[in-house]
Amino acid sequence: MRKFLAALVACAAAALAAGPPALAAAPLTMLGADVSSVQRALDLGARYYDAAGNQRDPLDILKGVGVNYVRLRIWNNPASGYNNKAKVLQYARTVKARGLKLLIDFHYSDTWADPGKQYKPAAWSGHGIGQLQSDVYNYTYDVCSSLKAQGTTPDSVQIGNEINVGMLWNDGKVVNNDFTNLSLLLKAGYNATKACNGGTQVIIHTADADSDANARWFYDGIRAKGVAWDITGLSYYCMWHGTLSNLSYVISDMRSRYGKPVVIAETAYPFTADNADSTGNSVTSGCSGYGLTWQGQGAEFTAVQNTARDAGAIGVFYWEPTWYAVPGNGWDPANINGSGDGWDNMAVFNWTGHINPNVRWTP
């Protein structure tokens, strides 16, 4: 008996030393793809092929490799006409008809909004912060309500795109750590979304996956001003945002500090350094351990998903997997016919429209 008790004590001590058993990571529920350029590609006659070489609708191909959520950007009045309200309403019907969920990404601009530029739409160019609050509320409510009226209520929306230091500059820019104006705009977008549909989840999205300090500065700043949101969104591109271990740390800290789910709202990786058209590639190099090949692209995307899942995130969105080089589907909305595609080496479809068989979205 004494030997038995000694063994029991030894086992208990070993268990305590080892710490609590690791909990299984919860599955990713938002397995997303931003396909905002695909309408234009299809209108121009682009074809998409699955891993078996069968020509199919790109959404059907993506759904077959695990996608359950589609992200669509919306620009107020882009020169090209693509990604405007009418086009988003049109493609939202296609998305929902396939049983996919829908995320609407409000840029609040006529063109690209990201950490380096947040241009007001031309129609709002002379508006101060008071009028901009009404602009954001009315526009957000109108788009959401129009989607709802046609039976394609958004499951989630982003109030701004990669708004590291604010949106609708300069009125909504954070200057001298003053989040007042930005908070007013974010509250307007949140309130409009909930007035349209209480169940639509509001994401506030930055590209701060590289820096926990920067992420804390931003989300602490808006929280201190009483801004509400449902999901914290981060962009992660390894060539710009650092290691997977750092990504894991930032996700874990965001999740615990704010008590909200976290999603990687954008990620991507090149399958080649080569360029398919007249516009240079936005990304020309990869990251350690992952080659610029189909195999490397697939492995890096799997690693991002695994890291996000293990750190407690609920979703990962691949940015523009369908945007292979199609003449006329250019980068510049003011010159969509004449500009090229800076993302042709980052899509998961190659330059003939065939999907990378190594890429999968996994819960």
Reading the block at residue 15, the tokens are 């268990």
Q: Active site residue: 135, 171, 208, 266, which one?
A: 266
Instruction: Say what the alpha-carbon torsion angle 82, 83, 89, 90 is, to the nearest 10 degrees.
Output: 40
Angle at 303 between CA 299 and CA 304, to 5 degrees: 120
The CA distance from 302 to 34, in Å, is 17
Phi/psi at 213 (5° precision): -65, -45
Active-site annotation holds for 320: no
Angle at 202 between CA 197 and CA 205, to 5 degrees: 155
SS3 256: helix
The CA distance from 107 to 102, in Å, is 16
- Nearby residues of 326 by Cβ (< 8 Å), 6 or more positions away: 40, 41, 44, 45, 46, 341
Q: Where are the beta strands (DSSP E) in the chain?
A: 30-34, 69-74, 101-106, 156-159, 201-206, 231-235, 262-267, 315-319
Q: Active site residue: 162, 208, 277, 341, which one?
A: 162
Q: Is the four-CA dihedral 349, 355, 357, 361 of positive or negative sign? A: positive
Q: What is the CA radius of gyration of the chain?
A: 22
Nearest of 332, 209, 342, 357 to residue 281 by alpha carbon: 342
Active-site annotation holds for 300: no
| 169 CB burial (10 A radius; 0-12, 13-18, 19+) | middle
Residue 24 CB neighbours (<10 A)? 7
The CA distance from 360 to 363, in Å, is 10
Q: Which residues are catalytic?
A: 162, 266
